[in-house]
DNA sequence: CTGAAAGCGCTTACAG
DNA sequence: CTGAAAGCGCTTACAG
């Protein structure tokens, strides 16, 4: 056993405790604690001496002990049903990195959509006394199945359905749709078609609503039927092969706004087969700014970015406020999207904003 | 403040402690503890009574207190520099879910490649007394910059460079290359070309080595030069447009093994432009089994799956062994890859293994 | 078989 | 200004 440990360099380092710091400084443990935490009044000399010695011996307070006495663990849980990761990944990255700079660590709980795993995760987070929970999803009208469990700590929702009295953050999809419309109008396009994902997604309706409203404000109607299918290249491709037939229009549209980048890519590939030029004949705007797609499309895709990393940051910072007892209004926060220009719309290329 | 709490349903639930369970059961705290943990000898009656009462009042032991006294936090850290997420995401999912079923939670630390953030993360993990650390990367010949810090707890590397005395898990890329070669040979292909990523990636050399060895054992030489470029569709596409020229061959190959799915997809798109049929004229094998690419390629891609989710699981389970003090041999474990058949090679379609 | 005591490493009133 | 005491919620020897 000792052999094994040494073979793997596992010798437990006997970590230095505050007691040893206190003794080395010739003060009591409580004085050492106060010096280290800048609490209460004390002579600058002893405070500095304690801190210097702590630094010298490499003292680092045991966060577990601190959590036990302080009722704060400086720890958060992230519960997500998006194991596929398209959405949670940027959210998690933004959250973890914003929290790291506040000294807060984040537990990752991947739960699929299994209520039993959700329950287990929440219990684990409760047992470990996390200060708060971020509940993240892959669509804004669903959430991991919490059933009726109300977690014993503050909760913030991120890119997921938020209950009436909860606090949640989602991308402003309506504004995203409006951005796409305004951009295409500004380029002089007038026959504006829309192809999107399944109708039962709230995001689909919101993006379409923002899109339509801008068109109507400009005195236009959406060009042709609005088309719905899976969030896949296959749907975009198959639609692109028979675009006029599907839209029920005589002419081709001169612009298409697609509900995500995959649909946009499939569409563009099919238009190429049909010898239709993008952006000359048809301008295309995608949605998601999923790099790996948007950049690889020929031509590279102009698309809407939902700023999910920022969403993760905001969710975390708000959760920290709630944990600190600050007043936080319940409700849904819609975070701004932005347009990333590449080459699928022509027009001025202001460069790649990513 | 009380208003705020109630508005947000933040009333701190006064969680029940073991002391209350003990009192309700009419025993001492130590007896209650032993009953709950099945430690020591005691009469079945009191044990059952205590446990029943604990269940009734919904007692859940405070994991923080347990960690403090037990020197085990049932907590792991995952440190990754793959914020892009292609590799870490499946690794993290496999790790977190395998650990969850053991009652172990995983902290997510995204560090980019910034040494300062690595140091901060490791210190945070040490302070929080995690039992062990998984260090994950995006390529097998690099790792997050630990500098000379040796973490104060057991470490396992996952899909990252592993130091001589460390324990690491990587996909068996050499065998992956061999699998691709054997598959194409079995389909009767004989002019076998290879296109891969940048030469300085160890994975590139390993895949090529496995590939070449199988060819040589079959009395063949790789067909044409082996080509290297970025891990992108663009490289695959541009190579596909001028395939013979790039390979330096007179005829087209009848099969191409690509270093990743993106290159394969770019290649296939270009071959379509050139009116070359896949798989009839050229069979194509990718690498990664990145769903979103492999399925969307026309035709869907036969490719090598690195089983990264399983890699995350294995890394976690081994780390648990090390934490438990079991003997674990240092060294690199190469985990098997497997071939996923779709339609880019023809041959028997045994179905989609994903 | 059961309980009193000590202790994990820290912080926080409270005396001096 | 400094320290002794109590306590966070548990577990673990050790007596009885």
Domain coordinates in residue numbering, chain B:
2-59, 70-161, 173-306
Residue of B nearest to A88 (CA): B89
Q: Does the pLDDT of residue B4 top 80, yes or no? A: no
What are the start-end ranges of the E strands in A293-345? 302-305, 331-335, 338-340
- The length of chain A, given as a count of residues: 354
Q: Report the pLDDT value the prediction gives residue A2, as an integer from 0 to 100.
A: 38
CB B100 under 7 Å to nucleic chain C = no
Chain B CA closest to residue A272: B273
Average pLDDT, chain B: 92
d(CA B182, CA B348): 14
Q: How far is the CA of A52 from the C1' of C15 (A)?
A: 28
Strand C nucleotides within a 7 Å radius of protein CB atoms: 1-14
* B40 CB contact with strand D at below 7 Å: yes
A55 contacts in chain B (CB < 8 Å): none
Q: What is the structure's pLDDT at B13? A: 62
Between CA B187 and CA B165 the distance in angstroms is 42
Provide the pLDDT for residue A12.
56
* pLDDT over 90 (residue B88): no
Asked if A77 and A95 count as a contact pair (C-beta separation under 8 A), the reply is: no
Q: Do A85 and B83 touch (CB under 8 A)?
A: no
Rounded CA separation B281/B189 (Å):
10
> Helix, strand, coil: what percent of chain B each, to 5?
40, 15, 45
Which among A73, A234, A322 has CB closest to B64?
Answer: A73
Q: Does residue B95 contact residue B150 with C-beta atoms inside 8 Å?
A: no
Structure-token pair, residue B121: 């993360």
Convert the pLDDT of each residue in B175-223 to its tens digit: 999 999 999 999 999 999 999 999 999 999 999 999 999 999 999 999 9
Percent of chain B with pLDDT over 90: 82
Nucleic strand C under 7 Å from the C-beta of A30: yes
CA distance to A278, B302, B320, per residue, from A269 (Å): 10, 21, 48
Instruction: Report, as ranges of residue numbers, the positions in chain A whose pLDDT lies below 50.
Output: 1-10, 350-354
> By CB neighbour count within 10 A (0-12 exposed, 13-18 middle, 19+ buried), where does B72 fall?
middle
C-alpha distances (whole Å) from B243 to each of A199, A319, B214, B264, B270 are: 43, 54, 23, 13, 9
Q: What six digits make up the tokens of B169?
A: 């898990």
Which pLDDT score, from 0 to 100, does residue A294 have? 95
Contact B83 A93 (CB under 8 A): yes
- Check whether residue B188 has its CB closer than 7 Å to nucleic acid strand C: no
Rg of the Cα atoms in chain A: 27
Verify whether the Cβ–Cβ distance A106 to B108 is below 8 Å.
Answer: yes
CATH topology assigned to domain B70-161: Rossmann fold (3.40.50)
**What integer is the mean pLDDT of B145-167?**
92
> What whole-number distance in Å separates Cα of residue A146 and Cα of residue A135?
10
Whether residues A121 and B100 touch (CB distance < 8 A) is answered with yes
Residues B279, B285 contacting (CB under 8 angstroms): no
Q: Which residues is B133 bridged to in the sheet?
A: B77, B155
> Are the beta carbons of A68 and B68 separated by less than 8 Å?
yes
Which residue in chain A is spatially nearest to B85 when comparing CA positions? A89
Asked if B42 CB < 7 A from strand D, the reply is: no
Same fold, A71-171+308-336 and A173-306: yes
Answer yes or no: is A8 CB < 7 A from strand C.
no
Average pLDDT over residues B112-116: 90
| C-beta atoms of A232 and B8 within 8 A | no
Residues of A in contact with B67 (CB under 8 A): 64
- The residue ranges of DSSP E strands in A88-164, in sequence order, are 105-110, 132-136, 155-158
The residue-averaged pLDDT of B15-19 equals 91
Tokens describing residue B77: 């850290």
Q: Which residue of chain B has the CA closest to A299?
A: B234
Identity of the residue in B5, B129, B262 whose CB atom sits nearest the CB atom of A63: B129
The half-sphere exposure of B12 on its side-chain side, counting CA atoms within 13 A, is 14
Please report, rounded to whole angstroms, the spatial distance between the CA atom of protein residue B53 and the C1' atom of nucleotide C2: 18
Peptide bond into B168 cis (omega under 30): no
CATH superfamily of A71-171+308-336: Response regulator (3.40.50.2300)
Distances (CA, A) of A170 to A163, A311, B294: 13, 7, 30
The CA distance from A344 to the nearest CA of chain B, in Å, is 16
Q: Look at the block and give the residue holding tokens 């030069």.
A: B225
**CA-closest candidate to residue B157, choices B141, B172, B173:** B141
Kindly state the tokens that stand for B9: 């349903």
- The answer on pLDDT for B227 being more than 50 is yes
Structure tokens at A35: 């010096």
Q: Which two tokens stand for residue A3?
A: 């052999």
The residue count of chain B comes to 354
The span from the CA of B203 to the CA of A208, in Å, is 45
Binned at pLDDT 50, 70 and 90, residue B347 comes out as: confident
Report the CATH fold assignment for B2-59: 434 Repressor (Amino-terminal Domain) (1.10.260)
Closest to B280 (Cα-Cα) out of B148, B205, B156, B187: B187
Nearest-CA distance from A49 to chain B in Å?
A: 23
Q: How far apart are CA B108 and CA A107, in angstroms?
A: 6
CA A271 to chain centre: 32
* Token pair in block for residue B319: 């780390």
Task: Report how far residue B239's alpha carbon sits from residue A309's, in angstroms, rounded to the nearest whole number.
Answer: 35
Q: Centre a 10 Å sphere on the Cβ of residue B44 and count the other Cβ atoms it contains.
A: 8
Q: Do B8 and A154 touch (CB under 8 A)?
A: yes
The residues, ordered by sequence, that sit 6+ positions from B305 with a Cβ below 8 Å of its Cβ are B288, B289, B337, B338, B339, B340, B353, B354
pLDDT of residue A13: 62
**Residue range B173-306, CATH number:** 3.40.50.2300
Helices (H), chain B: 2-7, 18-25, 29-37, 44-57, 63-70, 88-100, 115-127, 173-186, 202-217, 233-241, 243-247, 261-273, 291-294, 308-323
Distance CA A29 to C1' C5 in A = 22
In degrees, to the nearest 5, what angle opens at C-alpha A142 toward C-alphas A169 and A293? 75
Q: How far apart are CA B210 and CA B175, in angstroms?
A: 6
Tokens of residue B322, six digits:
């090390």
Strand C neighbours among A 111-170, CB < 7 A? none
Closest CA to B339 of B289, B291, B294: B289
DSSP label at residue A336: P
What is the widest separation between alpha-carbon atoms in chain B?
90
Residues in contact with B219: Cβ distance below 8 Å, sequence separation at least 6, in sequence order: none
């Amino acid at each position: 056993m000792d052999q094994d440990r040494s073979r793997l360099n596992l010798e437990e380092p006997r970590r230095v405790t505050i007691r040893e710091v206190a003794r080395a400084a010739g003060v009591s443990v409580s004085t050492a604690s106060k010096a280290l935490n800048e609490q209460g009044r004390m002579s600058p000399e002893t405070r500095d001496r304690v801190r210097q010695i702590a630094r010298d011996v490499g003292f680092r307070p045991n966060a577990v002990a601190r959590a036990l006495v302080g009722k704060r663990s400086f720890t958060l849980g992230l519960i997500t049903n998006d194991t596929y990761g398209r959405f949670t990944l940027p959210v998690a990255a933004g959250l973890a990195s914003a929290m790291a700079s506040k000294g807060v660590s984040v537990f990752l709980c991947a739960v699929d959509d299994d209520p039993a795993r959700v329950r287990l995760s929440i219990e684990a987070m409760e047992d470990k006394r996390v200060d708060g929970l971020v509940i993240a999803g892959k669509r804004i009208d669903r959430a991991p199945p919490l059933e009726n469990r109300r977690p014993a700590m503050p909760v913030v929702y991120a890119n997921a359905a938020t209950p009436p009295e909860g606090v949640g953050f989602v991308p402003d999809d309506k504004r995203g749709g409006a951005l796409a419309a305004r951009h295409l109008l500004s380029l002089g396009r007038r026959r504006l078609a829309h192809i999107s994902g399944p109708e039962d997604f709230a995001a689909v309706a919101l993006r379409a609503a923002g899109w339509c409203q801008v068109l109507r404000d400009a005195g236009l109607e959406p060009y042709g039927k609005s088309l719905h299918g899976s969030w896949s290249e296959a749907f975009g491709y198959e639609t692109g092969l028979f675009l006029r037939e599907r839209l029920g229009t005589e002419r081709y549209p001169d612009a298409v706004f697609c509900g995500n980048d995959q649909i946009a890519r499939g569409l563009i590939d099919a238009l190429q087969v049909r010898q239709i030029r993008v952006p000359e004949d048809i301008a295309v705007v995608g949605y998601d700014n999923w790099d790996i797609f948007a950049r690889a499309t020929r031509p590279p895709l102009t698309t809407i970015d939902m700023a999910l990393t920022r969403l993760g940051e905001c969710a975390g910072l708000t959760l920290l406020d709630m944990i600190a007892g600050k007043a936080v209004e319940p409700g849904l926060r819609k975070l701004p999207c932005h347009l990333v220009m590449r080459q699928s719309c022509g027009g001025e290329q202001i460069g790649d904003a990513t």
